[in-house]
Structure formats: structure tokens, C-alpha cells
Amino acid sequence: MPSNKTQPARGMRDFLPADVRRREYVIGVIREVYERYGFEPLETPAVENIETLMGKYGEEGNQLIFKILKRGVHESTGEADLALRYDLTVPLARVVAEYRDKLPKFFKRYQIQPVWRADRPARGRFREFYQCDVDVLGSKSMVVEAEICAAVSDVLERLGFDDFVIVLNHREILRGILEVSGVTEEKQADALIVIDKSEKIGKDGLRRELVERGVFSEESVDDFFERFGRLAETHVGPAFDIPESRTREFEKQQQEEMNSSWLDKLSSSLDQHEGGKLGIKAVRQILDLSQNSPARGRIRFHPSLARGLSYYTGAILEVGLNIGDFRGSIGGGGRYDNLVGMFLGQDVPACGFSLGLERIIVVMTEREMFPAGLVTSPAEVMVTVWNEESVLNSIALASELRAAGLRVDLYPEADKVGKQFKYASARGIPFVAVLGDDERERGEVSIKDMKSGKQRSVKREDVASVLRNWEG
RNA sequence: GCGGCUAUAGUUCAGUUGGUUAGAACGCUUGACUGUGAAUCAAGAGGUCGUGGGUUCAAGUCCCACUAGCCGCCCCA
């Protein structure tokens, strides 16, 4: 334990004003886009009953849940009856099961709240972090997947991302690949772990690890590679040579060609597998339905995407960045048609996606993608205080400007004017309003533009409009 | 959860094989400046060397644990 008691708990963070501004900017864009797609807001408690969460995320997930001990006289039992929520999807499923009759036939909700995982902190990875979820419940149509891809693409484009890829796969396709290759039920989980990282370890690594883990024998692995060797091909990284004169249109076309090439190959390999055929049909539909949406050319079908959360049943999605050094995904999702059924006893089809706020912020900060002025301007104008006698007058001016809708900082002490300017400069406040004895006699205020250094004296009642229409 | 590297003033870093009062640059504070910041000059403040233990006559320097950061696994947002 840190003896320096002022540090936040492990994996948790304090957000200073500049941090909060960045976070709120990103959240604002996300919320605005989600609203535009007809999603409605939902909030749920930080704490859930422990049985609501346990068993929904697989072995690994259970370990990472933040459990809360029973309280008071029951504390000594060492038992946990509550837990901090691990994601926003399971609480959503609980809400839908609880309020089924009050919710519309198709429930589209977004939710932007923190979740907690007892994971090891790393870059872009914390124990308390925000997820920005969109989900649609009540429909099995692939239009839902397409809409979600469109909304996510829209958000990322509006934030200024140019190089993201939505990787798409389908649980049934994965099952098909494994079953057609003769992988036994109990080896399938192992096989998925290896296949999921096939891009990183390459063709040789894929072959080696599949044999090491006993998924295939030395002989049968060749069969597998004959049919599915392409699994090791590029997954999130650049998929094709980008020419000097690269255009989005060119990239989109390349992506579409790559998708159909993959699908054609797989559909002949899986034509004996019912589930696999279904999965391929679903993926084709999602791609078709994205033709005329912001997601066009941004979706990359890739059969090696697996994803760990155990509740997915159909399409699975993950967003990665093409360029740069951030390897982790910045979001993920998929279809989970029987999660609500675990609470309700009756299945409700569902599909959703989650963007990771802090990963987006890590990348945006590194790439300097935040609008200028977001961090640097706590106020539009600072009003100076000339001396003890004039404080009231300064407060009056500040009040007038605030009433006119400006963000106004009032220097709190009757300090030397030089210090007041220095303070405004250091805080990045663009204008300083000086209210000295001379100005007061003339019924004027001196306004200084801190960027250009220009200064002019204006009638007191005109200050707000002059500031608003200031030019150089 | 596992392995490797790192941690010295607000910031970026020096600090020789463990040896007296731990340094620099920039930043910060105060003054020269007349009613005005980012320029120049002068002076000044600021570190129990990430935290806690241990080895030693002696520890920023060696050992251990913890915390944070980077890299690689596992997993994921």
C-alpha cells in the first residue's frame, strides 16, 4: 500500500480541470451522435447484486469483478453479496428483464458511466473507467448491427479519427471453422485464444501454438492451414498498400474487395456447416446494409476476431486503429440474443457496442486531436480589481458581463495590475477588462486582447458586445 | 495475475567503484518598470532523492516489498 496517502487508489484517477474538459468534450460528441440515431439515455447503479454479475463474463471475468463484502455484523463472514458493475451490458439486460412492460418494443439506449475491473493497470487501462454503450433490444434484424456500426463510425469521424477499422466476425463462423476442422468441444476455447492473436503471431506462430496447445496434431494442422491459413493475415493493421495519392474512396473499395474475397473463400469451406452458412449470410447482410451509411468501407470482415466475453451469440465487433502505435482496441461489441433470457426466462434479442472513453482520450491526446482553447481557456475575460474601494465596481462589471452570457473571471484581490495581467496570461484568458480610476471617471472600461497586445477603451455598456465582435 | 526495464526540485535531466552541507537548465516568487502579461537584468524560494523496510561505520547509489510508468505475456475498453 502506498504510504503516500494522497495518491488515489490503485488504477483509479483524479481528473483535474483540463482532464475533465477533455473528457466532457468527447462525451459530448458521443452523446450528441447517439441521440441523433434515436438512442435514449439510461443510468444504473454502480453496485449490483453479486449474482447478477457472476457467471456472465466467463472464468476470467469472474476473477476481475470488484466484490463488496457484507457489512456490519455480517462482515466477519468474509462473504460478498454486492459487486461494482463490470460492464454496462449485463445491467442493461437486468433492466430490460425488470421493466419489460414499460419499455418500447425496440429499446434503443445509450449509457455513459464508469465500470470497474480488478485488472492490472497499464497504458489506457484502469480499474475504474468509462464505457460509452449503445444497444438495441428487441430485434433480430441485421439492420441493428448496421445502425450500430454507422453510429460508431459517425462518432469516431466527428472526433477526428481517420484510420479506424470496425472488425466484424460471427460466432457461428468461428464455430464452423473449428467444427469443420474437427476441433473437439473442449479444445475450442483454446483454439479461439490462439486464432484471436493470429495476426500478431503470424502464420508460423499460429501453427506452432495450435499444435502446442493440442488443438491439432502435426499431421492435421496442415489440413487446417490448407483451408484456413489466411486467418493469420492482417486483422487491424493496414490491410493493403496505401498509394501516395491515397483517398478514402480508394481505401473503401479495397476494403470491400477484401471482404468479398474472404467471404467467398469461407463460404466454400463452410458449405457443409449450417451455422457457418448462417454466419456468413449475416455478415454479408451487415455489409450490404452499410452501403449507404457512414460505416461504408470502415467494416473489415475478419474470421480471426474472437473476443472474450462469453455472452455473445452472433456478430462480434471490435474497433481498432490502423495507424500509430496504440494496439489495444478502442471499443467492442456484438449480438447477445440470450443474455436477457438469463434474467427473464425468455430471450430478448439484443446487440450493442461499447466505446472505451479513456482509450479514445489516450490516442486523441497523443495525436493532439482536441480543439484548441478547450484546455486553455477557463474564462473569456478577466475583470481586474483596481483597489479596495473599487472592488464593488469590479463585481458589478463582472455581473453585467455574466448576465450578457460571457464566461467571466474576477481577480480576487486588489493586486498590482502587472500581476493581474500575468495571472490572466498564465491561465490563457484571452481578454482582460481594466477598470481603473481614469476609466471610471469616463464611464469606460479598457479591454486588452492578450494575444495581440492591443488595447482599447470602450463605453461600459458596450463591453459585452465589443468583446463578442472583437476582431484582431 | 506473470516476467523485464524505469522512478532525483513544478518540468526535463546530471549525480563517478556506497563516503562530509544533492546540482544544472527551464519554470516559479520578489524587485528594477511609469496604471499592463509572454522581453532584459538582479535577488530568492523550492528536494527527508516514488513509499516503506533491510544490509552497512556510512545508501540517491546495494537488497526486498509496495505504488506508478514503459515493454512483453494473459486478458480486455
pLDDT at position A457 is: 93
> What H or E segment, with its residue span, contains residue A324?
none
Beta-bridge partner residues of A286: none
Q: Which residues contact A66 (CB under 8 A, 6 or more apart)?
A: A83, A84, A86, A116, A117, A118, A127
At A273, the amino acid letter reads H
pLDDT in 10s for each residue of chain A, 472 residues: 323 456 777 888 888 788 888 899 999 999 999 999 999 999 999 999 999 999 888 777 888 899 898 988 888 888 889 999 999 999 999 999 999 999 999 999 999 999 999 888 887 888 999 999 999 999 999 999 999 999 999 999 999 988 888 999 999 999 999 999 888 888 888 888 888 877 777 777 888 888 888 888 888 888 888 888 777 776 555 544 444 456 778 888 888 888 998 899 899 989 999 999 999 999 999 999 999 999 998 999 988 888 766 789 999 999 887 655 555 688 999 999 999 999 999 999 999 999 999 888 888 887 888 887 776 678 999 999 999 889 999 999 999 999 999 999 999 888 899 999 999 988 889 999 999 999 999 999 999 999 888 999 999 999 999 999 987 6
Nucleotide nearest to A12 (CA to C1'): B68
CB A171 within 8 A of CB A283: no
Nucleotide nearest to A4 (CA to C1'): B51
CB A236 within 8 A of CB A319: no
Residues comprising chain A, all counted = 472
- The set of cell numbers assigned to A387 is 483597489
CB A298 within 8 A of CB A256: no
The Cα A309–Cα A349 span in angstroms is 17
CB A240 within 8 A of CB A165: no
Nucleotide nearest to A116 (CA to C1'): B77
> What H or E segment, with its residue span, contains residue A320?
strand A315-321
The Cα A76–Cα A69 span in angstroms is 9
- The separation between the first and the last C-alpha atoms of chain A, rounded to the nearest angstrom, is 54
Q: Would strands A107-116 and A40-41 be described as parallel, antiparallel, or unpaired?
A: parallel
Stated in angstroms, how far is A6 CA from B20 C1'?
Answer: 34
Stated in angstroms, how far is A418 CA from B39 C1'?
Answer: 15
pLDDT at position A284 is: 96
Stated in angstroms, how far is A307 CA from B75 C1'?
Answer: 10
Exposure string for A164-173, b = 16+ CB within 10 A, e = fewer: bbbbbbbbbb
Stated in angstroms, how far is A343 CA from B67 C1'?
Answer: 40
Quote the DSSP letter at residue A378. S
- The set of cell numbers assigned to A462 is 458596450
Stated in angstroms, how far is A201 CA from B4 C1'?
Answer: 20
In the three-class reduction of DSSP (H, G, I as helix; E, B as strand; rest coil), residue A329 is classed as: coil
Stated in angstroms, how far is A4 CA from B15 C1'?
Answer: 26
Nucleotide nearest to A354 (CA to C1'): B77
Nucleotide nearest to A416 (CA to C1'): B35
pLDDT at position A426 is: 85
DSSP per-residue string spanning A111-134: EEEEEE--PPPBTTB-SEEEEEEE
For A342, A438, A440, the CA distances from A290, given in Å and listed in that order, are: 31, 66, 64
A158-331: CATH architecture:
2-Layer Sandwich (3.30)
Nucleotide nearest to A13 (CA to C1'): B68
- The set of cell numbers assigned to A413 is 484581490
Stated in angstroms, how far is A122 CA from B7 C1'?
Answer: 16
Strand order in the sheet with A80-84: A47-49, A80-84, A67-69
Nucleotide nearest to A445 (CA to C1'): B35
Residue nearest to nucleotide B67 (CA to C1'): A2
Quote the DSSP letter at residue A281. H
pLDDT at position A309 is: 63
Does the interface ipTM go beyond 0.85? no
Residue nearest to nucleotide B37 (CA to C1'): A422
| Cα Rg of chain A, angstroms | 28
The Cα A92–Cα A100 span in angstroms is 11
Stated in angstroms, how far is A341 CA from B16 C1'?
Answer: 70
Stated in angstroms, how far is A77 CA from B63 C1'?
Answer: 39
What does residue A465 show for φ and ψ, rounded to 5 degrees? Answer: -70, -35
CB A316 within 8 A of CB A339: no
Q: Which nucleotides of B are covered by protein (CB under 7 A)?
A: 1-2, 28-31, 33-38, 50-52, 66-77
A381-468: CATH architecture:
3-Layer(aba) Sandwich (3.40)
Domain ranges of chain A: 158-331, 381-468
pLDDT at position A286 is: 97
